[in-house]
Structures are given as structure tokens and as C-alpha cells.
């Protein structure tokens, strides 16, 4: 730094002055402590001045320390030292937990000089011998307050501390006047420093939130070891000492829990009574409502635009759909016409074949051969398709009688060969089933395991599908169902049914398919509406119409679902109910739907009867 020029002097520069630079220095050690003190006090002073000021402040505190005489001091019982107020005994009742160790030592020194037994004895006062003198209470108070651990234990149960929590009624009237001193009073227990204040009505949301976050996560150092009823030092053995420690820990934990509940109750009460919380909630509610309204307006405008676009799209889609429906309707009508044409063509070809054979007396002069050939012709009508029938009729019409007879016999022979192959396959399946039955009978050894005919196997498969897994007492119900509907007369038990079902599961898939096919063939034969015509009369139109419309194939799962939905859609009182139901199930006629409905009703009745029989048997 250049010195300031005095009056009449000049400053001359011989070289260019370099630019000034700002350099930061960090104080360390005692200089850092002095720096912090200067910054906190916002003053500038040297380290020595600060130390001198601190020493002067301590001396002033010692000079200003005023002890309050405890009037009940001489009446204290040394044996009941635990219930005495140690701060009052040393004359520090007015500063209590704020007293420093230096003040405690000074107070103890003053009390010793005044109340020591030698001093009082020299003054002519009567002294109690031993530890029964009240001076023992002064010694005990110094012992408790000079030890930081023991002092904290005593401060935790300070008899002058007010544990009261204001009620909601008190807090709603004068919230800040009621709760501010309570929180300030309880802040002495916190482990953390810098306790946030309750603030005022003008406090910001961040300040209020910080205040309640601190108190909801309050960490208290308050502990209650001073109130232990038992002292482990008095224990006579290790086991007794452990028992005393266990009892003391339990009582401390209980008191700590009650203390934390008290703090939580205080914070909850204050939070519910705080007018600022109510104000913040109202502001938040108003803000959310405004945002909600703005979103609703924007959404409404967006929906209106989407609605206009949707209406335009629907109009275009409706026109396209109408065109497609019209095309589909025409295609369906065309398909229906083609189907009707095909039905009529098949009917015509069958009638033509019958008429041709009848005209030629079935190509034989023998009556017995005529009857046999008549049956063969009906067999051809049942098994040949439209193309085969047309080819056969053309062959019969184009040739003479011998050629026609040869063509007919050739076609009959081909059909018989095909039927013979099917019969042989059926016999092989029966043999495989009988072999499986013998295997099962040899393993079980019981009489009821024998005699499983095709009807019983089909009935077992039907019962297993009728009573699925999860049915209560499933195998007993299946056995009861078979005993009710079987014509073999053999009574089956649940064990027999289980063994046979396991045997069927182990069969080859082709054998299973063969059993199911035979069941279907039997069903078709029993429910066939086409009688074997042995006379020369032509079938009626009504009979042919029914046989053409009837569909004897098994009901698929999709058809079953459509039938159940149609039964729900069209109740009993619906006009022309079964016509509407058959229209809802493609490929099924009115008669098929009615027949399936009756089968389902009978099946459900049989199922309920079997379950009721097993239930009654179990009750017995």
C-alpha cells in the first residue's frame, strides 16, 4: 500500500503498477475460533481482546451469581436424598438446568463454607453425628450435579418441569399464546440444536412445515433411570443384579414410551388447532379447484372437437357398414340359395336313383335279391355324396341294363368294402379295449372290475365330463350316476371308477378316438330320423325335409355357448322362441336346439340326483 501523500507532497510512479488481485485466506486454530466469534457478533476485534472479554464475562457471572437459601434445607432427611431438589439444596433453584459447572462448584463452595459441621459446631450449634446430618444432602447434591450422566438423569425428572399438554379448546382460542411457551419448554429435551420456533400467523408454508417436521421426528434425550425402584449395587449376587437390571430396563422403556406419546399428543393437538394449517389447506383446495376447472374446460373443448370428428367418422363408417352389410346379406342369400339348390339336387339324384332301380326291378327277377338290392340302394343314398350320385345316375342312364347293373354292383361293392374296413377298425378297437379291461381286472382282482362293456365305458366318459374336477365327492357321485343309468346291472364303487378312469387315461390316443367314435355312431343310430325303407314307396317330402335339416354332428363348445346365450336372450314368453334361438346358433335347426335343450335338462337332473344320493349316504 502506498502511503497517503501529505499536503505539499507529490507522488511519482516510475514503473507501471500491476493490477490488484483478491486472495482468500482461511484462518485455522485459535484464529479460526476468533473469526467465528467475530462473525457471530458482527464485530471486528483481535483474538486477545475476545479472550479478555470472555474472561471478564465469566468473572462478572461469578460476581453476579446469587444463591437462594433453601428454607427446608435443615429439615431434609439424608436417607431420602433421592426425593430432594438438588438445585434448591445448592441454592440454584432459580437457574436450575442452565447452571454451568463453574456455577455449581461455586454454589457448593459457598454452601460448604456456611453449613459445614465444623463451622456450625464452632458457632455452638448442635451437630448430628454420622451421615444423618443435613450436610449429607449438600454432598449428595454436589455428587449428582457434578457428574454429567447423573445430572442428566436428574434433569430428566425435574420436579419443577410442567408436563401438561393444552387441550383443543384452549388452543383454538389463543393458539400462539398457549402453545408457544409449551413448545419452548419441551425443546430442552431435544438432541438436535437450532429448534425452529412456532412463529406467527404470517409464517410461510416452508417455515410451518419445517416446524412440524422437526417435532414429528422429535429425538429426545430424556431418560428415566433416576426413578429406578431398585439399585443393582444392593444386589447380593449376580442373578439378583441381572433381575434388577431387567426390571429397571422395563420400567424405563415404559416411561420413555409414555413420554413420546405425550410429545406426539402435543404435536397432534397443535397441528389440529393451528389456524395456519387450516389456511394452507383452504388455499391448496382453492388452487386444486382452479386447476381442476381449467383442466375440465380444456378437456371439454377437446371432447367437443373429438365429438365432431367422431360424428364425421361415424357417418362415413355407417355408410361403409351399410354397403358391407348389404353385400354380406346378398352373399348370405346367395349361399342359402346354393345350399337349397344342393339339397334339392341331392334329393333329386336320390329319387332318380330309386326310380331308375325301381324301373329296372332292381336289376333282378328274384324277390329275395330284389329286397337285398333295395337295401343296398338305400345304403348308397345314405352314404354317397352329390357328385357320386350324379356319376352313378349318368352311368345308369347311358348304358343298357347289363351295364347299368354292373355299374350299380360296382358302386355297391365299393361302399361295402369301405364299410367292411370301418367294421374291422371298430373290432380292433374293441379288442384293444377288452385287453385293457383284462389288464385292469388282473391288477385290481375284484369282481366289480370285470364286465366293462362299451356302454359302461361310454357312460363313464360321459360322467367324467359331466362331473368335472372340483365336484364335491366327485368319484362317489360318478359311481352313483353309473349305477343309476347302466343297463349291465353291475354295481360300481368309487374305487372301481377311479381305476378304470386311470386305465382309460393310459390308452393310446387312437384307441380313445375310436371309443368316442363308437359312442357317436351309437348316438346317431339311436337318434336317426331316417328309417330303413324296405318297401317300394317313395319317401314323403316332409320326412326328407326333416332329415335334410337335422344335424347329427356333436355340439361344439362354441355352439353350446351360443345356445346358452340365446336361451337367456329369448325367455319362455317370447313369441316364436325356438325359431329365434335356432337363428342365433348357425348350423343348427329348431329341432336340434329343442333336442339339445331336453338333453341338458335331463343331464342336470341326473347330476343333481347323483349328488343328492351321495350326500344322503354320507350323512348316514
Highest mean pLDDT (candidates 22-26, 152-156, 466-470, 508-512)? 152-156
**Residue 219 confidence (pLDDT) above 70:** yes
Of the residues 228, 258, 273, the one at which a domain ends = 273
Query: Residue 286 has what pLDDT?
Result: 92
Residue 496: inside a domain, yes or no? no
Whether residues 183 and 261 share a domain: the answer is: yes
Residues 100 and 189 placed together within one structural domain of the fold = no
What is the reported pLDDT for 542? Answer: 38
Q: Say if residue 138 is in the same domain as residue 178.
A: no
* Whether 48 and 100 share a structural domain: no
**Residue 532 belongs to some domain of the structure:** no
Residue 585 lies in a domain: yes
User: Residue 278: inside a domain, yes or no?
Assistant: no
Distances in Å between the Cα of 476 and the Cα atoms of 182, 448, 472, 479, 614 are: 77, 15, 9, 5, 6
* End position of a domain, from candidates 434, 460, 494: 434
Within a domain: 368: yes
pLDDT at 234: 74
DSSP string computed for 293-343: HHHHHHHHHHHHHHHHHHHHHHHHHHHHHHHHHHHHHHHHHHHHHHHHHHH
Contact 433, 454 (CB under 8 A): yes
| Confidence (pLDDT) at 527 | 54
Domain-embedded: residue 355: yes
- Closest to 154 (Cα-Cα) out of 97, 193, 229, 232: 97
Is the pLDDT confidence value at 157 over 50? yes
Question: Do residue 48 and residue 86 come from a single domain?
Answer: no
Q: What is the CATH number of the domain that holds 576?
A: 1.10.10.60
**Same domain for 614 and 572:** yes
The answer on 43 and 81 residing in a single domain is no
For residue 86, give the nearest of 150, 164, 3, 177 by alpha carbon.
Answer: 150
Helix (H, G, I), strand (E, B) or coil at 267: helix
Domain count, the chain: 5
Other beta carbons within 10 angstroms of residue 350's beta carbon come to: 22
Asked if residue 464 has pLDDT above 90, the reply is: no
Q: What are phi and psi of 276, to 5 degrees?
A: -70, -35
Task: Report pTM.
Answer: 0.41
What pLDDT, on a 0 to 100 scale, did the predictor assign at position 545? 39
Distance CA(352)–CA(189), nearest Å, equals 114
Quick check: is 502 in a domain?
A: no
State which of 258, 273, 288 marks the end of a domain: 273
Average pLDDT, the chain: 80
Q: What is the mean pLDDT of residues 421-431?
A: 84
Parent domain of 110: 73-156
Residues 6+ apart with CB under 8 A from 551: 587, 588, 589, 592
- Report CA-CA distances (Å) from 247 to 88, 124, 157, 240, 242: 31, 48, 19, 11, 9
Both 40 and 91 in one domain: the answer is no
Q: What percent of the chain has pLDDT over 70?
A: 83
How far is residue 224's CA from residue 153's CA, in Å, rounded to a whole number? 6
Cβ atoms within 10 Å, residue 198: 21
pLDDT tens digits for range 324-376: 999 999 999 998 888 888 888 888 888 888 888 888 787 877 777 777 888 88
334 and 428, same domain (yes or no): yes
Looking at the structure, tell me whether residues 334 and 235 fall in a common domain.
no
Amino acid at each position: 500500500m502506498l502511503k497517503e501523500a501529505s499536503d505539499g507532497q507529490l507522488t511519482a510512479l516510475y514503473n507501471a503498477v500491476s493490477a490488484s488481485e483478491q486472495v482468500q485466506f482461511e484462518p485455522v486454530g485459535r484464529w479460526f475460533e476468533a473469526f467465528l466469534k467475530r462473525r457471530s457478533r458482527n464485530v471486528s476485534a483481535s483474538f486477545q481482546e475476545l479472550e479478555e472479554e470472555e474472561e471478564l464475562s465469566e468473572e462478572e457471572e461469578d460476581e453476579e451469581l446469587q444463591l437462594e437459601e433453601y428454607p427446608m434445607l435443615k429439615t431434609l432427611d439424608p436417607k431420602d436424598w433421592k426425593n430432594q431438589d438438588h438445585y434448591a439444596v445448592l441454592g440454584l433453584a432459580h437457574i436450575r438446568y442452565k447452571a454451568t459447572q463453574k456455577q455449581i462448584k461455586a454454589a457448593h463452595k459457598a454452601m460448604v463454607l456456611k453449613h459445614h459441621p465444623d463451622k456450625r459446631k464452632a458457632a455452638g450449634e448442635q451437630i448430628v453425628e454420622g451421615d444423618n446430618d443435613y450436610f449429607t444432602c449438600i454432598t449428595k447434591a454436589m455428587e449428582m450435579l457434578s457428574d454429567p450422566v447423573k445430572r442428566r438423569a436428574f434433569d430428566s425428572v425435574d420436579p419443577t418441569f410442567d408436563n401438561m399438554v393444552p387441550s383443543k379448546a384452549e388452543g383454538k382460542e389463543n393458539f400462539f399464546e398457549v402453545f408457544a411457551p409449551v413448545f419452548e419448554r419441551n425443546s430442552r429435551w431435544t438432541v438436535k440444536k437450532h429448534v425452529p420456533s412456532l412463529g406467527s400467523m404470517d409464517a410461510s408454508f416452508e417455515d410451518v412445515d419445517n416446524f412440524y417436521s422437526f417435532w414429528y421426528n422429535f429425538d429426545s434425550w430424556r431418560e428415566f433411570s433416576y426413578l429406578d425402584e431398585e439399585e443393582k449395587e444392593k444386589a447380593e449376587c449376580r442373578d439378583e443384579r441381572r433381575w434388577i437390571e431387567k426390571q429397571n430396563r422395563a420400567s424405563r422403556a415404559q416411561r420413555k414410551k409414555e413420554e413420546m406419546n405425550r410429545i406426539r399428543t402435543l404435536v397432534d393437538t397443535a397441528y389440529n388447532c393451528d389456524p395456519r394449517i387450516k389456511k394452507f389447506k383452504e388455499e391448496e383446495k382453492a388452487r386444486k379447484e382452479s386447476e381442476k376447472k381449467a383442466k375440465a374446460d380444456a378437456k371439454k373443448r377437446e371432447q367437443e372437437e373429438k365429438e365432431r370428428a367422431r360424428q364425421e367418422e361415424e357417418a362415413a363408417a355407417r355408410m361403409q357398414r351399410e354397403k358391407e352389410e348389404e353385400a354380406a346379406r346378398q352373399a348370405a342369400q346367395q349361399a342359402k340359395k346354393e345350399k337349397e339348390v344342393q339339397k334339392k339336387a341331392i334329393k333329386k339324384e336320390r329319387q332318380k336313383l330309386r326310380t331308375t332301380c325301381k324301373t329296372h326291378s332292381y336289376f333282378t327277377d328274384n324277390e329275395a335279391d330284389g329286397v337285398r338290392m333295395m337295401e343296398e340302394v338305400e345304403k348308397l343314398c345314405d352314404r354317397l355324396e352329390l357328385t357320386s350320385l350324379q356319376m352313378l345316375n349318368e352311368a345308369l342312364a347311358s348304358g343298357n341294363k347289363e351295364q347299368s347293373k354292373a355299374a350299380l354292383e360296382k358302386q355297391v361293392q365299393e361302399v361295402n368294402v369301405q364299410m367292411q374296413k370301418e367294421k374291422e377298425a371298430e373290432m380292433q378297437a374293441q379288442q384293444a379295449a377288452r385287453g385293457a379291461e383284462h389288464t385292469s381286472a388282473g391288477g385290481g382282482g375284484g369282481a366289480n372290475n370285470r364286465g366293462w362293456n362299451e356302454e359302461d365305458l361310454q357312460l363313464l366318459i360321459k360322467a367324467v365330463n359331466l362331473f368335472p374336477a372340483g365336484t364335491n365327492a366327485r368319484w362317489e357321485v360318478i359311481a352313483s350316476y353309473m349305477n343309476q343309468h347302466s343297463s349291465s346291472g353291475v354295481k360300481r364303487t368309487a374305487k372301481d371308477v377311479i381305476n378304470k378312469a386311470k386305465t382309460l387315461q393310459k390308452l393310446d390316443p387312437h384307441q380313445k378316438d375310436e371309443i368316442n367314435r363308437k359312442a357317436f355312431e351309437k348316438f346317431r343310430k339311436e337318434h336317426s330320423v331316417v328309417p330303413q325303407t324296405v318297401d317300394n314307396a317313395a319317401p314323403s317330402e316332409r320326412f326328407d325335409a326333416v332329415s335334410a335339416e337335422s344335424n347329427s354332428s356333436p355340439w361344439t363348445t362354441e355352439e353350446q355357448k351360443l345356445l346358452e346365450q340365446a336361451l337367456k336372450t329369448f325367455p319362455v314368453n317370447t313369441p316364436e322362441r325356438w325359431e329365434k334361438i335356432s337363428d342365433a346358433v348357425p348350423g343348427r335347426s329348431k329341432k336340434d336346439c329343442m333336442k339339445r335343450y331336453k338333453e341338458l335338462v335331463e343331464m342336470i337332473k341326473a347330476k343333481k340326483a347323483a349328488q343328492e344320493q351321495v350326500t344322503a349316504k354320507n350323512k348316514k
